[in-house]
Amino acid sequence: MKKNYFLSLVLVFVTILAVGVKAQSTYTKQVIIVSGGIYSDPNDFVTVSSYNPETETITDFGTIYTQSVQDVIINGSFAYVAAQDSIVKFNIDTYEKLASVASPGINQLATDGNVLLASFWYPITENFVKIFSLDDLSLVTNIEGISGDAAGFLINDGVALVAIPGPYGSTTGKIAAIEIDQAFLLSEDDYGDFYSGINFFGFYNDVISSFMTTAWGETTTNIGTFDYGGDIMEQYTINDASLANSAGQRNNLMYIELNNGIAEYDLTDNTETMIVSPLTEGIAASVIDTINNNFYITTSDFFSYGNGYIYNLEGNQTSTIDVGISAQAIAVDYRTITAITNNINDFDISVYPNPAQNYIKLRSNKSIEIENIDIIDNLGKVVISTNNINKIDISNLNAGIYFVIAHSKYQKFSSRFIKN
């Protein structure tokens, strides 16, 4: 590509963290898991499910009448699913299907918050990137001029980088740059055989990293880094390693599916450490939950079984999930409570017991004269308002995460708790 187009890509990867931000608090509402069903069975369709990490239950809420899934992303309270020949939009508060569009050859999805970008591969032979409306999934435009099969995106400041591995058997890898608002291809550059199989990107400290999927039968993994100008900085090869996909990024750490396990790849010194040891079952999909500090991993042979597992960041399995066969797409639904108003001092009070089932009490590290208390659910609705500050009855609340706002004469204080 014309290297200067990288200059506008001042990238910031948004890893949502549970930080003490006044008037806001972020939590994991659910994990969306999409299963493709039994390979080649025309009567087994794509199933969309919601896993609740608090109750540890999974609920199917959508069916897409096709036989495989490629991707799922979340934007606000909506999930967008790429499934073989369709893109489908769901409301993941009401769990209703809202829109769909025929999209043969769909591969990966991404959004800048304004439009939906989609990459395409076989059997498509042109227009390998398309832009759709986030609202009704109507086609906004085709991006003409991209030379072959497209994969993962990197988006910021109106520009999208797209990995272009090309069709099966391609011996080089390319990167395209797209101006999103004007919907045209800025450039496409061929970076040579080291970048064959280019699939997804990472970013940290002003350095762009590209990760190349290991070809069938090969035993090395290639990773290349670029500066803002698009010039190659370094190239790294991990020997005796097979890279499949990304499990996500947190700060300087990229989590990758390596040798059928999960490895932590440090973008600052380009070293890798295995976290989840190689599994005996083939990984179908994986993702890191940066709030709860764990991995969701699905496995499948695509015709006889599908299993789901939860691992902590130390690589220990902590739970299982009942998932379908070929669960090849997972996304974490992070939500931010914004209903809490001005002048709140976070965590100057605490709640106990926590988790709680029947009642809660408050304690503080300061001398605070509390006048009344509001309890707010994850939609920002006040579900309890009381001036009984000694012992609060929560027995009638549904299980989930709640926020406590304690009002004094001049200030407000917040905390949160889990209702079992």
Q: What is the pLDDT of residues 96-105, one digit of tens each?
A: 999 999 999 9
pLDDT at 36: 97
45-54 pLDDT, tens digit per residue, is 999 999 998 8
Q: Which two tokens stand for residue 258?
A: 């390596």
The model's confidence at residue 228, banded by pLDDT at 50, 70 and 90, is confident
pLDDT, the chain, mean:
89
Q: Tell me, yes or no, whether 160 and 85 share the same domain.
A: yes
Kind plus residue range of the DSSP H or E element containing 237: strand 232-239
pLDDT at 344: 44
| Residue 195 DSSP code | G
- The number of distinct structural domains making up the chain is 2
* Long-range Cβ pairs for the range 100-105 (8 Å, 24+): 100/64, 100/137, 101/132, 101/137, 101/138, 101/139, 103/130
Q: Return the CATH number at 153.
A: 2.130.10.10
274 and 407 part of one domain: no
Rounded mean pLDDT, 161-168: 95
Q: Which tens digits make up the pLDDT trace of 297-342?
A: 999 999 999 999 999 999 999 999 999 999 999 999 998 765 444 4
Instruction: Tell me the C-alpha distance between 351 and 224, whole Å.
Output: 47
Residue 13: predicted pLDDT: 35
Closest of 311, 328, 329, 312 to residue 320, by C-alpha:
311
Could you report the per-residue pLDDT of 69-115, keeping only the tens digit for each?
999 999 999 999 999 999 999 999 999 999 999 999 999 999 999 99
> Same domain for 236 and 349?
no
Residues 166 and 258 in one domain: yes
| Co-location of 290 and 358 in the same domain | no
Residue 374 sits in the same domain as residue 393: yes
| Amino acid at residue number 97 | K
- CATH code, domain carrying 361: 2.60.40.1930
Q: How far, in Å, CA of 108 to CA of 125, rounded?
A: 16
Same domain, yes or no: 142 and 265: yes
Task: Clarify whether residues 214 and 87 are in a common domain.
Answer: yes
**Tens-place pLDDT, residues 358-412:** 999 888 766 667 888 889 887 777 889 888 878 899 999 998 888 888 887 767 7
Give pLDDT, residue 348: 61
CA quadruple 336, 337, 340, 345: dihedral positive or negative? negative
Q: Are residues 149 and 165 in the same domain?
A: yes
Q: Is 232's pLDDT higher than 70? A: yes
State whether 221 and 81 are in the same domain.
yes
Buried-exposed string 367-391: b where 16+ CB fall within 10 A, e elsewhere: ebebeebbbbbbeeeeebeeeebee
Mean pLDDT for 200-220 is: 94
321 in the same domain as 354: no
- Chosen domain end from 305, 337, 369: 337
Say whether the peptide bond before residue 123 is cis (omega within 30 degrees of 0).
yes
Number of neighbours of residue 340 by Cβ within 10 angstroms? 18
Domain, as residue range, for 387: 344-419
Domain endpoint, select from 337, 360, 387:
337
Task: Please say which residue of 337, 353, 371 terminates a domain.
Answer: 337
The Cα–Cα gap between 171 and 183 comes to: 28
Cβ atoms of 342 and 353 within 8 Å: the answer is no
What letters, b where the CB count within 10 A reaches 16 and e where it falls short, cover 163-200?
A: bbbbeeebebbbbbbbebeebebbbbbebeebbbbbbb
